[in-house]
Amino acid sequence: QLQASGGGLVQAGGSLRLSCAASGIRFSTNGMGWFRQAPGKEREFVAYISAAGGNKSLADPVKGRFTISRDNAKNTVSLQMSSLQPEDTAVYYCAALRYGSRWHERTRIESYTYWGQGTLVTVSS
């Protein structure tokens, strides 16, 4: 129901744009998040955008470098990543926030109902 794409290999300082296409869910009523999981590490929150797109938040490590956006007409959410660094290397996952969740729950993995399969981003130094 969530299909992430756009990952790949990029040199440090480069950019990538990840996309996530949703189907089978009421996309326009779900907040959407991006998480990432680096090798040997736990999955961590990266970015969030509210259902209508008016509220966004980014994890501290990516502030100023990543931007999250969505197109409810196309049922897609995107993550524009710039100034990529080797520490950004991870599998990136999109996820749909459980309907009715509160703002402070947006960074929690357990708050998300549906997950995409992940797309690998590798940043070389």
What is the pLDDT, as a whole number, of residue 94?
98
* Contact between residue 92 and residue 79 where contact means Cβ atoms under 8 Å apart: yes
In whole angstroms, what is the distance from residue 68 CA to residue 8 CA? 18
What is the pLDDT, as a whole number, of residue 51?
95
Per residue in 30-79, pLDDT tens? 999 999 999 999 999 999 999 999 999 999 999 999 999 999 999 999 99
C-alpha closest to that of 18 among 124, 123, 120, 125: 120
In whole angstroms, what is the distance from residue 89 CA to residue 23 CA? 27
* Percentage of the residues of the chain whose pLDDT score is greater than 70: 100
Q: Which amino acid appears at position 16 of this protein?
A: L
C-alpha closest to that of 76 among 10, 32, 118: 32
What is the pLDDT, as a whole number, of residue 113?
94
What is the pLDDT, as a whole number, of residue 13?
98
Tokens of 97: 């926030």
In whole angstroms, what is the distance from residue 46 CA to residue 18 CA? 12
Q: What is the mean pLDDT of the chain?
A: 96
